[in-house]
Amino acid sequence: MVTGKTKCLGILGWPVEHSFSPQMQNAAFKSAGLDYTYVPLAVHPEQLSKAVNGLKALSFVGANVTIPHKVTIMSYLDELDQSAKMVGAVNTIVIRDNKAYGHNTDACGFIQSLLKRGVTLSGKHAVILGAGGAARAVIWGLIEQGIASVSIGVRNVEKAQDLMNVFTPFANISAYQWPSTKFDSIISNCDILINSTPLGMYPNVQAEPQVDWPNLTRPIAVCDLIYTPTKTNFLLHAEQQGHLIINGMGMLVEQGAAAFTLWTGVQAPTEVMYAELARKKV
């Protein structure tokens, strides 16, 4: 029951009605016996700075941030953590003493989803398909784990230049034309292959990133950031070749779990959050 003591949280997005976070976070608060409530907050892009002030004025304890606000909101916050600065986006805000602190939990959420499946990253060679916002979070997470190299496949290498400028000082990172023979040979020797393009996402479930699967030299971990459908054609074909497959559900739940902990100081009941996601209809 919501009372005068209930702590308020929400998700800022435009549109926001499709967000799964209210369902997932409210189930987690209930399970943990915490007096918090979490609501969708539709914020037009032109109202974003007012919305941040509004959260403070209304004594919200924090929020999540989704499309299209993850980058623009940064200039309205009081402080950013290192992850938010490196990824160049904020997905979680903590409000304390009338100050708004920006965090990015997508990076640690992705990493946590891999660690939970037994994938180790230190000294490994990763390949990422696509160089958008999600790729930046993935790359920062991999760097923090001590990845040996990151190779990015893009259809337009120039578009990866910003990302390269940010991460080159921190990692052995290269961008390649994809598809190309050179990039095929990089894929064939990697330890972990990650799809961060929307290829194969509902409703275009027949699409998939082209990979020459028989060319891979050994079983690897293959990840798709997509979670609708839970098994994309990309993951299906990887599984048929004997690779470990990991979909985007883990990243979605674990970024939410990390935000939950930032707000409450309590470990999130991730099994409850996974169960909520499993109940979700596309």
Where in 222-281 is the site for ligand NAP (CB under 6 A)?
225-227, 248, 251-252, 255
Q: Which two tokens stand for residue 233?
A: 């054609």
Pick from 99, 117, 155, 218: which binds ligand NAP (CB under 6 A)?
155
Pick the catalytic residue from 7, 30, 56, 70: 70
Q: Would you tell me how many other CB atoms lie within 10 Å of the CB of residue 47?
A: 13
Chain position whose Cβ is nearest to ligand NAP: 132
**Which of 95, 131 has the CB closer to ligand NAP?**
131
Where in 45-104 is the site for ligand NAP (CB under 6 A)?
none
Q: Would you tell me how many other CB atoms lie within 10 Å of the CB of residue 88?
A: 18
Q: Which two tokens stand for residue 260?
A: 């939950």
Q: Which stretch binds ligand NAP (CB under 6 A): 38-46, 131-139, 141-149, 186-194?
A: 131-139
**Which of 183, 263 has the CB closer to ligand NAP?**
183
| 280 catalytically annotated | no
Nearest approach, Cβ of 119 to ligand NAP (angstroms)? Answer: 16
Torsion angles phi and psi, residue 232, rounded to 5 = -70, 165
Helices (H), ranges, the chain: 21-32, 48-57, 82-87, 106-115, 133-144, 161-167, 181-188, 233-240, 249-264, 270-279
Q: Cα(279)–Cα(63) distance, rounded to whole angstroms?
A: 23
Beta partners for 100? 95
Nearest approach, Cβ of 245 to ligand NAP (angstroms)? Answer: 14
Name the region of 26 (left: φ>0; alpha: ψ -120 to 50; beta: rest): alpha
**Contact between 132 and ligand NAP per CB under 6 A:** yes
Nearest approach, Cβ of 279 to ligand NAP (angstroms)? Answer: 17
Q: Cα(139)–Cα(141) distance, rounded to whole angstroms?
A: 5
Where in 95-114 is the site for ligand NAP (CB under 6 A)?
106
Residue ranges binding ligand NAP (CB under 6 A): 106, 130-135, 154-156, 159, 196-199, 201, 225-227, 248, 251-252, 255
Q: Which residues are the active-site residues?
A: 70
